[in-house]
Amino acid sequence: MANLKSIKKRIVSVKSTRQITKAMKMVAAAKLRRAQDNVVAARPYARKLREVMERLAQSQESDPHPLMVRRDTSPRALIVLVTSDRGLCGGFNANISKAAERFILEHRDDYSQVTITTIGRKGYDFLKNRQKMGQNYAGVISKPTYQAAALIAREVIQGFIAEEYDDVFLFYNAFRSVMSQDITCEQLLPISAPEMSEEAESGVQYIYEPTKGELLGELLPKSIEVAIFKAMLESVASEHGARMTAMDSASKNATEMIGKLTLIYNRARQAAITTELTEIISGAESIKG
């Protein structure tokens, strides 16, 4: 009977866990809709800002902006890693953190030092004893705001201008679907102007007011802010998608475990009943004899 009680207790425990995972899946699904809408709304603005900035940078004739200066002497790199503050979302945090580690290993001959700044607690917890860590921005990723992204961007820009590091890379999970998140690495700084195509050179000519240099001075920092904010939005949507998938898988595993435990319980109960009947029959026969 003690074995039957322990099995029954375990069945109740797994059922309780299944209720929690199902509830977490529903919450993640509700949050995913809002997060996905935010990502869809942010992408066109970020893309158009990048196009305007690139056109300005291509046609600039004066000295390059400080954010476009490339330094090659003993270069140091900064990685801005976007993860989440919470777990229970499968390999979402571990995969992006390992991608940053692989990047460091692959470029160990290119940089004299690589520092990791994390947005989200999980990335910091994963890497704090394994890599050189910089600032950790915890508590800003659950409800990302442009103000928080602008603050992070300003600190990154200040460090780049002060030559604390020479290259800045942004790692985040780009949202593709509920089942798919793409590990993405973008170079934030220095900003490179792509070569102007023949079609662009012969296309419409714009008159800028104020000057191109002044516009670049405004747009280049703005582009860093927008890139970090977009990465935060993408990461939040990816996190909810990953959690929704993980909780769905956990619920299915719990259902399968409940079925197996129920079968074991029924077999144990049947064996206990058979044993009791055998003892009763044996006792009755001994009395008759």
DSSP state of 143: S
Whole-number mean pLDDT of the chain?
A: 88
- Contact yes or no for 93/87 (Cβ under 8 A): yes
User: Three-state SS for 107?
Assistant: coil
User: Three-state SS for 240?
Assistant: helix
In whole angstroms, what is the distance from residue 89 CA to residue 92 CA? Answer: 6
DSSP state of 68: G
Strand order in the sheet with 113-119: 133-137, 113-119, 76-82, 167-175, 181-189
Q: How many CB atoms lie within 10 A of CB 268?
A: 16
Q: Do strands 167-175 and 181-189 pair parallel, antiparallel, or not at all (unpaired)?
A: antiparallel
Question: What are the tens digits of pLDDT across the range 15-49?
Answer: 999 999 999 999 999 999 999 999 999 989 988 88
* Structure confidence at residue 289 as a pLDDT band (50, 70, 90): low
Which CATH code of 3.10.450.50, 3.40.1380.10, 3.40.50.300, 1.20.140.10 fits the domain covering 25-245? Answer: 3.40.1380.10
Report pTM: 0.86
Q: How many CB atoms lie within 10 A of CB 107?
A: 14
Phi/psi-derived region of residue 10, left when phi > 0, alpha when psi is between -120 and 50, beta in every other case: alpha
- Contact yes or no for 120/100 (Cβ under 8 A): no
Residues 6+ apart with CB under 8 A from 13: none
Catalytic-labelled residue, pool 42, 89, 226, 250: 89
In whole angstroms, what is the distance from residue 62 CA to residue 84 CA? Answer: 42
pLDDT at 62: 63
Question: What are the tens digits of pLDDT across the range 104-117?
Answer: 999 988 899 999 99
Tell whether the model's pLDDT for residue 2 goes beyond 70. no
Backbone φ and ψ of 84, nearest 5°: -120, 170
Phi/psi-derived region of residue 25, left when phi > 0, alpha when psi is between -120 and 50, beta in every other case: alpha
pLDDT at 159: 94
- Contact yes or no for 115/79 (Cβ under 8 A): yes
- Contact yes or no for 95/81 (Cβ under 8 A): no
> Is 185 one of the annotated active-site residues of the chain?
no
Residue 105 identity (one-letter amino acid): L
CA distances (Å), origin 34, targets 15, 90, 235: 30, 21, 13
pLDDT at 113: 92
Tokens of 180: 């798919």
Domain ranges of the chain: 25-245
Residues 6+ apart with CB under 8 A from 118: 80, 81, 82, 83, 124, 127, 133, 135, 136, 137
Question: What are the tens digits of pLDDT across the range 245-274?
Answer: 999 999 999 999 999 999 999 988 888 888
